[in-house]
Amino acid sequence: MVVTRTASPAAALDLDQLARTAVRVLIENWHGHATVPSRRLYPHQWSWDSAFIALGQQYITPQRAAVELLSLFGAQWADGRIPHIAFNPAVPDHAYFPGPSFWRSSQLPGHPPIDTSGIIQPPVHAIAAHAVMDRLGANGRDFAARAYPALVAQNSYIRERRGVKGLAAVVHPWETGLDNSPAWDEPLHAVPADLSLFESYTRRDIDHARASERPTDEDYARYIRLALSYRDHGYDDDWMRSRSEFVVVDPGFNALWAWSELALAEIARALGRNPDGHQREAERITTELVDQLWSTESEIFLARDKRSGRLLGERTVAGLIPLLLPKLPQGVRDALCATLTGPSFGAGQLGIRGVPSFDLTDRRYNPRRYWRGPTWLNTTWLVAEGLRAHGADALAHRLRDDMVALVANAGLREYFNPRTGSGHGTSNFSWSAALLLHVLAEVLPQAETG
């Protein structure tokens, strides 16, 4: 990729060098059919990571992006769920916890050909598949014909097996992708933290990242307990929806589900199929989101704890993600933009880079701890796409410039301090590399691949 313009008038950045570094990271993290998020911390294929990664791989070769997605679909379960991890059989079980021997997917009837986890992640894959289909040109239709049934099955699973009053529920914080978000504190802290689990299980994440930037042992014990209970009930969603100790309706997950229906409509159209059902589904979910999760008082979408029936008060970046939906009522859209640029998130304000993952004014805001404050490139990119969907191009542009500036300053880190720009979590992180490439290609029309 050859990029020559500066991203910001204030700083002359060597964008060509940045792009080459991002390509190198994606190549180094590629394992022949898929890309690991990070070679040591996350040494397998992760579900929503692969979708973001494919958006960047398309500038290396669109064929590689297609393989990335199709290999993930190869791990899809018979019920349609796309598991949050597809394990690489060449990597030892102890390299990541919880690994294949914990999830035991191979013991299930009709299990996929490789070991997987049993939980899911936000369905962003149709968005990536749509982009890759376009990029493949004449070969796009063949790819779309293979991807479409997997994507439709994924969304049917979400609607039928996770549906709660017309929206989708998640049964583990990891399913939201924003694992350690303060929004989960109240429902998660109702789950007993049994530290004796660490007599049988060993955390591997803190071998590779600072403990102060990762979830606490207490929260990890709760994650293990929830995953064990899902596994020991045979990954039965009826049981989980009604009896699990953690059942939450997340605005980010649901907005991405609706957005993916819009991408499916485009893929269906390219395949000569009727897109109307997907369009209607996106509109239905949008209406439910506004009816059930919009808070007029907080001017943001909030998660709902299904067990208590209450809205959870934390203002997180997940509550801004519904901006992606074009049929959002104008009043909601305007209020959401005001929240985004106001004191809680400070987007576009002097001294704030990207979109912080959590409310800057909350006493629990922590700019270095995993999903409790730092800026991540994926959620910043999603909000920027949402702004673009509503014609707020100047702020969308600024957020994309912030993404570039963060990487130029701190490297391809997993997350960043919104105020100082310092980098945290793992290094050479694949979705940071991929979304950087995607943004450079969007921002700089003269970007070329080669």
* Cβ 356 vs Cβ 375: under 8 Å: yes
* Of residues 205-264, those binding ligand 9WN (CB under 6 A): 205
Spacing of C-alpha 53 from chain mean position: 11
Kindly state the number of chain residues that form the binding site for ligand 9WN, as judged by CB under 6 A: 10
In the complex, what is the shortest distance from the CB of residue 38 to ligand 9WN, in angstroms, rounded to a whole number?
7
Site string for ligand 9WN, 68-87 (x = CB under 6 A): ----------------x---
| The two three-digit tokens of residue 118, written as one number | 């049993």
* Cβ 316 vs Cβ 181: under 8 Å: yes
- Looking at the Cβ atoms of 33 and 204, the one nearer to ligand 9WN is 204
Is 102 a binding residue for ligand 9WN by CB under 6 A? The answer is no
Which residue of the set 28, 93, 134, 179 is catalytic?
A: 179
- Looking at the Cβ atoms of 51 and 268, the one nearer to ligand 9WN is 51
Which residue of the set 49, 219, 305, 414 is catalytic?
A: 414
- Looking at the Cβ atoms of 102 and 148, the one nearer to ligand 9WN is 102
Say which residues have a Cβ less than 8 Å from residue 435's Cβ, sequence separation at least 6.
52, 55, 56, 377, 378, 381, 403
Is 48 a binding residue for ligand 9WN by CB under 6 A? The answer is yes
Q: What is the DSSP letter of 310?
A: P
- Looking at the Cβ atoms of 177 and 322, the one nearer to ligand 9WN is 177
In the complex, what is the shortest distance from the CB of residue 335 to ligand 9WN, in angstroms, rounded to a whole number?
27
- Looking at the Cβ atoms of 42 and 365, the one nearer to ligand 9WN is 42
- Looking at the Cβ atoms of 143 and 174, the one nearer to ligand 9WN is 174
Is 179 a binding residue for ligand 9WN by CB under 6 A? The answer is yes
DSSP per position, 380-434 = HHHHHHHHHHTT-HHHHHHHHHHHHHHHHHH-S-SEE-TTT--EES-SS-HHHHH
Is 42 a binding residue for ligand 9WN by CB under 6 A? The answer is yes
Give the containing element (helix H, strand E) for 358: none
Give dist(CA 155, CA 265) in Å, integer: 13
3-state secondary structure (DSSP) of residue 328: coil
* Cβ 151 vs Cβ 260: under 8 Å: yes
Assess whether 414 carries a catalytic annotation.
yes
In the complex, what is the shortest distance from the CB of residue 49 to ligand 9WN, in angstroms, rounded to a whole number?
5
Give dist(CA 231, CA 240) in Å, integer: 10
| The two three-digit tokens of residue 200, written as one number | 């049988």
Is 49 a binding residue for ligand 9WN by CB under 6 A? The answer is yes
Is the Cα dihedral 205, 210, 213, 217 positive or negative? positive
Residue 5 main-chain phi, psi, to 5 deg: -80, 160
Task: Choose the binding region for ligand 9WN from 46-54, 131-139, 248-256, 261-269 (rule: CB under 6 A).
Answer: 46-54
* Cβ 106 vs Cβ 29: under 8 Å: no
Assess whether 160 carries a catalytic annotation.
no
Q: C-alpha angle 332/337/338, rounded to 5°?
A: 100
Q: Kindly provide the b/e burial profile for residues 281-302, where b requires at least 16 CB atoms within 10 angstroms of the residue's own CB.
A: bbbebbbbbbebbbeeebbbbb
How many Cα atoms sit within 13 Å of 117 on the Cβ side? 22
**Near ligand 9WN by CB under 6 A: residue from 177, 182, 322, 374:** 177
In the complex, what is the shortest distance from the CB of residue 41 to ligand 9WN, in angstroms, rounded to a whole number?
7
Is 123 a binding residue for ligand 9WN by CB under 6 A? The answer is no
* Of residues 280-339, those binding ligand 9WN (CB under 6 A): none
Task: Choose the binding region for ligand 9WN from 41-49, 65-73, 247-255, 357-365 (rule: CB under 6 A).
Answer: 41-49
Task: Choose the binding region for ligand 9WN from 11-19, 44-52, 245-253, 296-304 (rule: CB under 6 A).
Answer: 44-52
- Looking at the Cβ atoms of 134 and 179, the one nearer to ligand 9WN is 179
**Near ligand 9WN by CB under 6 A: residue from 37, 56, 112, 367:** 37
Is 182 a binding residue for ligand 9WN by CB under 6 A? The answer is no
3-state secondary structure (DSSP) of residue 61: coil
Is 174 a binding residue for ligand 9WN by CB under 6 A? The answer is yes
Residues that bind ligand 9WN (CB under 6 A): 37, 42, 46, 48-49, 84, 174, 177, 179, 205
The residues that are catalytic are: 179, 414
